[in-house]
């Protein structure tokens, strides 16, 4: 080989080496520019491009497998899907799905996409990530999450009452919330715990819960209503009067009152509504005309009348006097006797004395509390109109018997034997009531001859039922 040939060959090698180096530099520049782009402002676009979520270019339109041509509407109707991208082509084989363990994963993703019309995917993902984050944290509760979820309702309620720190209460709430296992009872037990001092620490706004949240899909309208009503009590415990007023302004006319009119609310919840309405909302200038008497007349429901009175403190006498006049045609003798006892001059004097001796910020009357406890315990508004002994069951007669005994006791203990009472006329008024209810008991409840019943006599059955009720 001549020197010229050697020189020519070396020149060719040099050119090839230079071209290879230039290609490497080009690749390096290309990769660097993409890395810089990814790390810069267009990182979302680059990431979407990598996941094949961007609309295809005009010159990259896919061929329609059925028509054999390029569809002009592919770009305009393009709907990117991470699920489809992971699976591969919609018309091709689902290679990834065939891998072990991924079938259930994609099935779960399909279920997630099916909920788009109800709740956005983002909300589901946020919910899932929050749950994963919570489960990954160490649990300082005495009970594990598994134990909590499998505890009986009665034991769980007792456990929640024993929780002594706000953090542990929030953790229990999160356990049930992220497992979609919250019930109205668990929710109320948790936020009513006296150690909860900041409701904002809960992962959701308790006064804004609705069926839009997947955790509350199984709740009824009445469940949401009960939670909102019990929140009034919690706001009161936390000394947040503005929150009470806001709650009533948002819900009383639209939610609470219609439920009271239809009898949907139980006495427990209706009593709470009346207490806070008359303590907070009726005193406002716009509602001053809507007093207790206004609702007794407009509702015209005896049970609501008793519940309004049970929720009142300072206007007890005025309320029962109006109730006696408004419901006089439907009251039975025992209901009438009880309201007369509450509205008597002697009862008013005793209650006024006790209220005057208590704190103005927290007025209390022991006598009024006893009378209210009687009304709540025996559900006086539900007493039947007695026409004959045969129309009443043994259980009903035993309840009436115990109620009359309780009335006799309170008359003797709180009024007749009390020192320092005012006029003798007021004492005589109370004694006349005492005689009336005693005669009623003897004529309507105890005038039963042995042997009238074939099963051993009503006297024995009556007193057996009475003894059972005494132990309740």
* Average pLDDT value for the chain: 76
Q: What's the pLDDT at 428?
A: 80
Task: Name the band, by pLDDT with cuts 50, 70 and 90, for residue 57.
Answer: low
Task: Name the band, by pLDDT with cuts 50, 70 and 90, for residue 131.
Answer: low
Q: Is 199 left (phi over 0), alpha (psi -120 to 50) or beta?
A: alpha
CB 252 within 8 A of CB 232: no
Q: What is the pLDDT of residues 328-356, one digit of tens each?
A: 999 999 999 999 999 998 899 889 989 99
Angstrom CA distances, 268 to 230, 272, 376, 379, stand at: 10, 7, 9, 12
Q: What is the pLDDT of residues 394-444, one digit of tens each?
A: 888 889 999 999 999 998 888 776 665 555 667 788 888 888 898 888 887
pLDDT at 171 > cutoff 70: yes
* 3-state class (DSSP) for residue 63: strand
CB 322 within 8 A of CB 293: yes
Q: What's the pLDDT at 92?
A: 44
pLDDT above 90 coverage of the chain, percent: 43
pLDDT above 70 coverage of the chain, percent: 60
Helices (H), 289-393: 292-299, 302-310, 316-326, 333-343, 345-357, 366-378
Q: Highest mean pLDDT: which of 87-96, 296-305, 347-356? A: 296-305
- Specify the range with the lowest mean pLDDT, choosing from 2-16, 226-240, 286-300: 2-16
Q: What is the pLDDT of residues 107-126, one digit of tens each?
A: 554 554 555 555 565 666 66
pLDDT at 378 > cutoff 90: yes
pLDDT at 34 > cutoff 70: no
């Amino acid at each position: 080989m001549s020197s010229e040939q050697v020189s020519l060959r070396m020149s060719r090698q040099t050119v090839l080496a230079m071209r290879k180096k230039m290609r490497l530099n080009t690749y390096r520049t290309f990769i660097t520019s993409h890395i810089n782009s990814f790390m810069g402002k267009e990182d979302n676009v680059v990431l979407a491009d990598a996941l094949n979520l961007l609309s295809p270019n005009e010159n990259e339109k896919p061929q329609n497998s059925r028509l054999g041509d390029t569809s002009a509407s592919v770009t305009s109707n393009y709907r990117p899907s991470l699920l489809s991208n992971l699976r591969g082509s919609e018309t091709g084989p689902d290679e990834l799905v065939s891998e072990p363990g991924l079938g259930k994963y994609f099935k779960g993703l399909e279920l997630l996409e099916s909920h788009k019309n109800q709740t956005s995917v983002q909300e589901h993902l946020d919910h899932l990530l929050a749950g994963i984050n919570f489960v990954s944290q160490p649990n300082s509760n005495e009970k594990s999450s598994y134990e909590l979820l499998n505890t009986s309702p009665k034991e769980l309620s007792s456990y929640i009452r024993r929780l002594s720190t706000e953090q542990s209460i929030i953790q229990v709430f999160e356990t049930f919330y992220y497992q979609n296992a919250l019930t109205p009872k668990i929710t109320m037990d948790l936020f009513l715990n006296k150690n909860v001092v900041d409701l904002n620490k809960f992962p959701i706004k308790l006064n804004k819960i609705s069926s839009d949240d997947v955790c509350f899909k199984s709740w009824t309208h009445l469940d949401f209503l009960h939670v909102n009503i019990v929140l009034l009590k919690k706001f009161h415990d936390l000394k947040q009067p503005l929150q009470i007023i806001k709650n009533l302004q948002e819900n009383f006319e639209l939610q609470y009152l219609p439920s009271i009119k239809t009898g949907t609310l139980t006495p427990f919840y209706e009593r709470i509504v009346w207490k806070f309405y008359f303590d907070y909302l009726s005193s406002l200038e716009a509602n001053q005309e809507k007093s207790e008497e206004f609702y007794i007349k407009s509702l015209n429901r005896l049970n609501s009348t008793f519940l309004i009175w049970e929720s009142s403190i300072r206007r007890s006498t005025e309320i029962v006097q109006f109730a006696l006049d408004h419901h006089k045609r439907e009251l039975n003798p025992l209901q009438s006797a009880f309201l007369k006892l509450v509205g008597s001059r002697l009862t008013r004097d005793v209650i006024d004395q006790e209220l005057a001796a208590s704190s103005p910020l927290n007025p209390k009357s022991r006598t009024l509390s006893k009378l209210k406890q009687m009304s709540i315990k025996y559900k006086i508004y539900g007493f039947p109109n007695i026409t004959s002994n045969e129309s009443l069951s043994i259980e009903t007669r035993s309840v009436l018997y115990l109620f009359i005994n309780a009335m006799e006791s309170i008359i003797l203990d709180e009024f007749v034997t009390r020192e320092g009472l005012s006029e003798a006329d007021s004492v005589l008024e109370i004694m006349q009531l005492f005689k009336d209810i005693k005669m009623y008991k003897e004529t309507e409840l105890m005038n039963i001859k042995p042997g009238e019943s074939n099963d051993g006599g009503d006297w024995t059955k009556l007193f057996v039922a009475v003894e059972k009720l005494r132990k309740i």
